[in-house]
Structure 1
Amino acid sequence: MTQSAPWASDPERSRGRLHAEQTGSVRGPRNAFQRDRDRIIHSISFRRLRHKTQVFMAPDGDHFRVRLTHSLEVAQIGRTVARILGLNEDLTEALCLAHDIGHPPFGHAGEDALKAALMGVGGFDHNGHTLRTLIEIERPYPLWNGLNLTWETLEGLAKHNGPVRHPGWALRAADATFPLDLTSFASLEAQVAAIADDIAYDNHDIDDGLRAGLLTLDQLMAVPIVARNWDAARARFPDVAERRLLGELVRGQIGEMVNDLIGETRARIAASGIDRVDDVRAAGQCLAAFSPAMREEERDLKRFMYANLYHHPRQMAAANAAHGIVTGLFAAYRDDATLIPAEWRDRLPAGEPDRSRHIADFIAGMTDRYAVARYREVVGPIDLPEGF
């Protein structure tokens, strides 16, 4: 195993957990970050990711990615990069696995619907809801709410994309409960997890888009990084059918992005002069990053994917239907609390904003298929467009 770098997060020097835990009942020889990873994997919220949208709404095809498989792929990339850079692999993996736990059903369409429903009481964002879920909503322990994760895991989830200077209400509440130094940068493990997320969905969404017939190879050749890696795959395997080279294309792009990330991050670390983890938080910039050239190529790929896949007419029709499902559920539960299952109804606050936020908590935890079933039960029939 690669020796830990001096700027790697150390579980023995963790800032601890919100709630003190008994030390005399240790369940296995695991450090603090390993326990965090295991708590995330064993959580109900993590299991529900298997039926939450990644790109396609409630997909019928067994081969399409969902939030769960995406999170596993992010973790695989993140852990590899962390190992090469001498960072803490367990913390990186925990952050990768948990980063999408706050997503409601139907991905960004569901998030937009909840944001609109909660507009008068602070709105909704999936990152803040991730912290809310892990600190408050998950309740597997008898003496406190939440998974009681370490400060480093919660901090990394709160600000893996950089300092948060204008947090929404959910993240403010998490920070008030367990101060997370929101205006500083996060650990290198969190920074790596954020870019591993980009690398995973940039490339695996290509695979799913081709499989669904919403993208074609001819279209993709307009993107320089794709054309370059396709030509390289063709050169290595000139006599292989095109359909057998798609996996090689995706693997080649992931490898190119990972190698660039490692090289640029090493250069930034060397130039920054950091020698401990607190220096990472005070560096004034993200130290884990793509090179300028790769950053521009990755942006070109994202622009292509938004124009040709995420905003494809079939995808937009599905997103509009999903928006309507979440909006309809929220209105139904707001207007008639008896429709809410007893477990959630018994804890329903009487006044605002807590009442609306509690209803949104319930809906945000739903899987795609559960949301569709509940809509048909409490609102009425719905004809779903192609793409569901």
Structure 2
Amino acid sequence: MELNNLYSSTRTGVDQDEKGDDPRSGYQKDYDRIIFSSSFRRLQNKTQVFPLPGSVFVHNRLTHSLEVSSVGRSLGDLIGKYILKTYESELNDESKRFYRNHLKGVLASACLCHDIGNPAFGHSGEDAMVSFFKKNKSELESKFEPAEYADLLNFEGNANSIRVLTQQLNGKSKGGLRLTYSTLSAIAKYPCESRAKDKKQTHRKKFGFLQSEKNIFEKIANETGMIKDDNAEHTIYFRHPFVWLVEAADDICYNIIDLEDAQRLGIIETTHCEGLLDNLIRCLGVEDMKPIDATLATITDRNERISYLRAKSINSLIFRAEQLYIENFENIVLGKHKDALFDIIAEECGAVQEILDFSKDFIYCHRSVVEIENAGYNVMYELLNHFVIPILKKEDDREKSDEKALQLLPKQYQTESTSNYDKVLAIVDYLSGMTDLYATELYKKIKGIDIGMRN
């Protein structure tokens, strides 16, 4: 196994490594750049599951990303130590430093930005994007190359994350956030182009990069040792080994945290929630239950009891994910591993599957969740219709209303390109970057529901 080639400190938009007196490593800079970026900040008003805002504080995309980052850092620390101890003789000095000190930072950064390309209203926002281009296919498809329209027909937050993190908007820096290739490779859950989607294969269930970022993605893949599927008709890579850990951190967090949010909102009774989490901890068998039971005996606040069991559940899942990663490490590095770590855990532990079943039946189908999904879909669909149709018209064919619609586009999303693909992606960039609140307010204004100036 070539473990010396799985990472790279090369950055997008930079011809050579940034040097200077900065005491931070390049990987630490990634984390800081993401934290301070406007794209990350906007996640605070993007729906995770439950409607925002409310009298009960539930998770949004930003708090979710911070928690996933924490879990990712823990997994990176554990696996970095394992690689260093087990394969020390195969590692050069630089690799020893990376796995000892920096793998945990790379995973923390990747987890932090794994949802940064998700549009407002979560999956319903994605569905609106896909639906718009499907319903208007007969009118629009001929205006694009086949590979380009495939991107639009299959809009995907994961692929959009690569674009958000690497693209140069008008007046902005070259290379986007200028993150290292290591961090970018670790978020590529589906390292293939849109035409290569195949729901039967884990690494191709969705797609990982738009045609506009194909060249930079291939550079990232080559620099970080990603294995290419040379037998495929389209551009496909097998997952980078770090991706499995980022995915596990995400799966662990949302499956447990959604349950905690449901308890705080009264969707699930506290005793039922306690039972589900307690069963999970006992089923995984990682923790000693005696001190856990003793601690619970001293906690009377119901929310605190759930918080404690949530922490212990996540801890147990982290250690089981670590064990599975180590057990499958050789196949993971060779690109031969097939199943998500959390899926394996769910198959072997009935208590995990019980939580998944409850969430599917009672959380994700809860009326408040379905209402926000419906509302989000309609808002995003109408905004697409408002901007995409006018921008695809020739300037001489645009009516006054078309011109007025396009005047609402911020300067950074305006393009002088004559390519229809570039024009529409500029609209998609604008809409996918919106928060739930901004998208809703703009929708109300252009529909005449809310008219007038506001401070």
- Change beyond 3 A, Cα 1:374–1:267: same
- Structure 2 equivalent of residue 237 of structure 1: 296
For 1:198 and 1:304, the matched residues in 2 are separated by 16
For 1:315 and 1:296, the matched residues in 2 are separated by 30
1:284 aligns with 2:336: yes
- Structure 1 equivalent of residue 216 of structure 2: 177
The alpha-carbon deviation at position 292 of structure 1 amounts to 4.0
- Structure 2 equivalent of residue 111 of structure 1: 126
- Structure 1 equivalent of residue 78 of structure 2: 84
Task: Please say which of residues 350-359 and 243-252 is displaced more in the overlay.
Answer: 350-359
- Structure 2 equivalent of residue 130 of structure 1: 161
The alpha-carbon deviation at position 116 of structure 1 amounts to 1.3
1:380 aligns with 2:433: no
1:365 aligns with 2:396: no
Per-residue CA deviation, residues 267-320 of structure 1 (Å, 9 max, x unaligned), is 333xx3xxxxxx854241169835945444434422321211011122112210
Contact 1:129 1:171 in 2 (8 A): yes
For 2:428 and 2:301, the matched residues in 1 are separated by 46
The alpha-carbon deviation at position 222 of structure 1 amounts to 7.8
For 1:226 and 1:208, the matched residues in 2 are separated by 17
The 5 A counterparts of 1:134-145 are 134-136=165-167, 142=173, 144-145=174-175
Per-residue CA deviation, residues 41-72 of structure 1 (Å, 9 max, x unaligned), is 22211111111111123223462111111111
The alpha-carbon deviation at position 188 of structure 1 amounts to 3.6
The 5 A counterparts of 1:126-275 are 126-136=157-167, 142=173, 144-159=174-189, 164-165=203-204, 168=207, 170-179=209-218, 180=221, 181=226, 183-217=236-270, 220=273, 223=276, 226-229=278-281, 236-238=295-297, 240-241=299-300, 243=302, 244-269=304-329, 272=330
For 1:69 and 1:168, the matched residues in 2 are separated by 25
- Change beyond 3 A, Cα 1:205–1:163: closer
For 2:41 and 2:306, the matched residues in 1 are separated by 29
The percent of aligned pairs where both chains have the same amino acid is: 27
In structure 2, give the amino acid aligned to 1:99.
Answer: H
The alpha-carbon deviation at position 178 of structure 1 amounts to 3.6
1:245 is paired with a residue whose SS is helix
Residue of structure 1 aligned with 2:116, choices 80, 87, 101: 101
Structure 2 runs not aligned, ≥5 long: 81-98, 138-148, 192-200, 229-235, 284-288, 391-401, 451-455
The alpha-carbon deviation at position 246 of structure 1 amounts to 1.0
2:420 is paired with a residue whose SS is coil
For 1:337 and 1:150, the matched residues in 2 are separated by 40
For 1:117 and 1:348, the matched residues in 2 are separated by 24
The alpha-carbon deviation at position 117 of structure 1 amounts to 1.9
1:118 is paired with a residue whose SS is helix
The alpha-carbon deviation at position 370 of structure 1 amounts to 0.7
1:366 is paired with a residue whose SS is coil
The alpha-carbon deviation at position 237 of structure 1 amounts to 2.5
Per-residue CA deviation, residues 208-264 of structure 1 (Å, 9 max, x unaligned), is 1111122224554785x5545499555643364361411122112112111211222
**CA RMSD across the alignment:** 3.3
Contact 1:265 1:287 in 2 (8 A): no
Task: Please say which of residues 115-124 and 295-304 is displaced more in the overlay.
Answer: 295-304
List 4+ stretches of structure 1 deviating above 6 A. 160-163
Contact 1:51 1:367 in 2 (8 A): yes
The alpha-carbon deviation at position 378 of structure 1 amounts to 1.0
Residue correspondences, number: 366
Contact 1:81 1:258 in 2 (8 A): yes
Contact 1:9 1:187 in 2 (8 A): no
Residue of structure 2 aligned with 1:50, choices 29, 44, 52: 44
Residue of structure 1 aligned with 2:10, choices 13, 16, 21: 16
1:241 is paired with a residue whose SS is coil
TM-score by length of 1: 0.82
Task: Please say which of residues 214-223 and 130-139 is displaced more in the overlay.
Answer: 214-223
Contact 1:139 1:145 in 2 (8 A): no
The alpha-carbon deviation at position 92 of structure 1 amounts to 0.6
- Change beyond 3 A, Cα 1:235–1:337: farther
- Structure 1 equivalent of residue 367 of structure 2: 313
Task: Please say which of residues 72-81 and 144-153 is displaced more in the overlay.
Answer: 144-153
Task: Please say which of residues 71-80 and 54-63 is displaced more in the overlay.
Answer: 54-63
2:318 is paired with a residue whose SS is helix
- Structure 2 equivalent of residue 327 of structure 1: 381
The alpha-carbon deviation at position 187 of structure 1 amounts to 3.9
